[in-house]
Chains A and B, each alone.
Chain A
């Protein structure tokens, strides 16, 4: 077994531990377990980082070249950005959503889609790691905004209708959830902007044209406009709370659409297409 696979398995086990701890913490309200869950998550992230590093060394290119690698890389970004956000806001209720999500992606990546890509000369450019890192960081941050948005809508509904389920006691305040929406937007939007720009520059180098209206590019642009509208609404017309949460949720649906389904139509952003373009 290669070091990479061993590390991958360790990462899975540690993330599983963190997930279980978060579940007990939030569902059974044993809040004292929160710090252990976070500890496990930090360890998991470090092992995960080592996993990605060994994969980079083994293959010789940034490990985002097939679906397995992309899912693993996304989970890594997601956990990382959650932990950064958590430093300030201490959100066990977000952790209990992020952890299983990352875990499922890791399991899917490890079992169903496991594959080691061959080095691809097309990806042998400095723009490749820059472009995908920016894009995935943006995806991760917007995923957090999406989760916070759902939590906001649930909590807001309970406060409005005055019917309180067990969720009410577990969800954070509306103010914190709305602040997260804003924070994620103010980090995610520049990341996405830079991802698009770096992609354009790379495309110009590789294919001799900045923009080709490839379906991926088009849908990314539409999503970008949506988030731009939300940012503008927040800053200038006092959009907040429920409306901001809903836009973050719609934005995320667009994002998922452009991340997965468009891959089937796009010529340049399809993992299979990397082979064809060699």
Chain B
């Protein structure tokens, strides 16, 4: 059985193509069932996010399956096949395994290490199990991908550093203050970025919020949102000594916080550190303030630089993750290879052993005067015949299990010796067996 993927992602297709090929999450039943109805497809999962649309499938006929899925994509979304073709990629065998493990671990994402993709794949798998389009292989495959992703997340620091401005600000604050509980934030002005950053601070433990604005009503309104306290703009500097984190984004043309003001504030705070985040352009805080001991001033560009550094750090961690993923790929690929072979060999041996036992019993029942020694010799001889007869086919099956052509031998052996189909390994596979059985009838 081959495992394959056909799809496109942010790396191969622009957004105007991706949005046309996306599958809405509310209507997954129809595309999944249409795919399963294709003659070459045995199992399938559709992963559809804003950055990628990928169809995973298993098939005995990989080439046919790829062509059928491509055709399905263009006809289902009514897109010209020639227009779609250059954006599509298709992978099979260990490359698919590598690909899905990387995708699930967020190594193939636009922002490396972003946490959403794993959830999106889990949802996609959820639809596939709901509409019974997955069987033994994809079940195992997806579960393995989830565990690889989990391993990457826990054993590397791939997602540990912030890559958005507001999270970067929260993280910097943590590097300065340790914990953010019982810290006080002051919002000066009411820019959108400022508000977002304040929300992140509150979500990360900050309890006290002070809000000030030239128009007091706006300060009151915003303060109500954060359960905070509005402050008059005229004397907001009087409150600065109680504030640990300042977020400013006013439209003021000049500085609203000068060096001398903050020097006095830090003295009043007895050198307890302050973190000032100036999101305004033009800037609200005199940049020289950063030279005051125990004050840390960051403007928008500084935060961007933090993000750049974090990105680099994520990439370093991603390299470690790639090694992890590769080792897991081999493991899964080998399992896939022996999947059909091992139960076939077992079935073959069981069948021959059954025949031998029946025939030996028949013969021995006719010669009741045989001694223990003779009986043993007959048993040994018949066993030797069976083993020798099966030696070559079994060796061949074992050897070919690494190759893709193995399916042919497995199929031949099963047909020639009329072996029963292998027992499904997991409960969920029953649905798959039913579906394939139904399709064979048709």
- Residues of B near A205 (CB, < 8 A) are none
Report whether A159 and B296 are in contact in the complex, using a CB–CB cutoff of 8 Å: yes
- Residues of A near B258 (CB, < 8 A) are none
Contact of A162 among B174, B179, B270, B305 (CB under 8 A): B305
Report whether B273 and A174 are in contact in the complex, using a CB–CB cutoff of 8 Å: yes
Report whether A160 and B271 are in contact in the complex, using a CB–CB cutoff of 8 Å: no
Bound Cα distance from A268 to B2, whole angstroms: 83
Contact of A159 among B155, B161, B176, B317 (CB under 8 A): B176
Does A176 reach chain B (CB closer than 8 Å)? yes
- Residues of A near B156 (CB, < 8 A) are 29
Known: A162-B306, A240-B271. A169 touches B157 (CB 8 A): yes
- Residues of B near A243 (CB, < 8 A) are 271, 293
Does A168 reach chain B (CB closer than 8 Å)? yes
Count of A-B contacts with CB under 8 A? 65
Report whether B273 and A29 are in contact in the complex, using a CB–CB cutoff of 8 Å: no
- Residues of B near A155 (CB, < 8 A) are 175
- Residues of B near A237 (CB, < 8 A) are 270
Known: A155-B175, A242-B294. A32 touches B273 (CB 8 A): no
Known: A162-B298, A174-B176. A241 touches B270 (CB 8 A): no
Does B352 reach chain A (CB closer than 8 Å)? no
Does A56 reach chain B (CB closer than 8 Å)? no
Does A276 reach chain B (CB closer than 8 Å)? no
Bound Cα distance from A43 to B178, whole angstroms: 30
Bound Cα distance from A164 to B320, whole angstroms: 21
Does B302 reach chain A (CB closer than 8 Å)? yes
- Nearest residue (CB) in A for B272 is A240
- Residues of B near A175 (CB, < 8 A) are 176-179, 273
Does A204 reach chain B (CB closer than 8 Å)? no
Report whether A174 and B175 are in contact in the complex, using a CB–CB cutoff of 8 Å: yes
Report whether B298 and A241 are in contact in the complex, using a CB–CB cutoff of 8 Å: no
Give A156-200 as 1s and 0s: 1 = Cβ < 8 Å from B's Cβ atoms. Answer: 000110101010110011111001000000000000000000000
Chain B, 164-213, CB within 8 A of any chain A CB: 172, 174-179
Chain B, 293-348, CB within 8 A of any chain A CB: 293-294, 296, 298, 302, 305-306, 309, 313, 316-317, 320
Size of the chain B interface, CB-CB below 8 angstroms: 30
Query: Closest Cβ of chain A: how far from B39's Cβ, in Å?
Result: 48
Bound Cα distance from A31 to B296, whole angstroms: 28
Bound Cα distance from A155 to B178, whole angstroms: 13
- Residues of B near A225 (CB, < 8 A) are none
Report whether B293 and A241 are in contact in the complex, using a CB–CB cutoff of 8 Å: yes
Does A208 reach chain B (CB closer than 8 Å)? no
Does A30 reach chain B (CB closer than 8 Å)? yes
Contact of B309 among A32, A168, A238, A242 (CB under 8 A): A168
- Residues of B near A28 (CB, < 8 A) are 320
Contact of B273 among A30, A239, A241 (CB under 8 A): A241
Report whether B178 and A176 are in contact in the complex, using a CB–CB cutoff of 8 Å: yes
**Secondary structure call for the A interface:** helix
Bound Cα distance from A176 to B320, whole angstroms: 29
Size of the chain A interface, CB-CB below 8 angstroms: 26
Does B242 reach chain A (CB closer than 8 Å)? no
Give A1-41 as 1s and 0s: 1 = Cβ < 8 Å from B's Cβ atoms. Answer: 00000000000000000000000000011111000000000
Report whether A241 and B294 are in contact in the complex, using a CB–CB cutoff of 8 Å: yes
Known: A174-B273, A239-B271, A240-B271. A162 touches B302 (CB 8 A): yes
- Nearest residue (CB) in B for A162 is B302
- Nearest residue (CB) in A for B299 is A162
Known: A164-B306, A243-B293. A238 touches B176 (CB 8 A): no
Report whether B154 and A32 are in contact in the complex, using a CB–CB cutoff of 8 Å: yes
Bound Cα distance from A174 to B174, whole angstroms: 9
Bound Cα distance from A168 to B270, whole angstroms: 26
Query: Closest Cβ of chain B: how far from A230's Cβ, in Å?
Result: 14
Chain B, 274-292, CB within 8 A of any chain A CB: 290
Report whether A160 and B290 are in contact in the complex, using a CB–CB cutoff of 8 Å: yes
- Residues of B near A174 (CB, < 8 A) are 175-178, 273
24 A–B contacts, CB within 8 A, in A order:
A30-B155, A31-B157, A164-B305, A164-B309, A166-B316, A169-B160, A169-B161, A169-B313, A173-B176, A173-B178, A174-B175, A174-B176, A174-B177, A174-B178, A174-B273, A175-B176, A175-B179, A176-B178, A238-B272, A239-B271, A240-B270, A241-B271, A242-B294, A243-B293
Q: A162-B305, A166-B313, A179-B178 are in contact. List 7 more A-B contacts (CB 8 A).
A: A28-B320, A160-B296, A168-B175, A175-B176, A175-B177, A175-B178, A176-B178
User: What are the 3 closest A-B residue pairs judged by CB atoms, nearest first?
Assistant: A238-B270, A175-B178, A164-B309
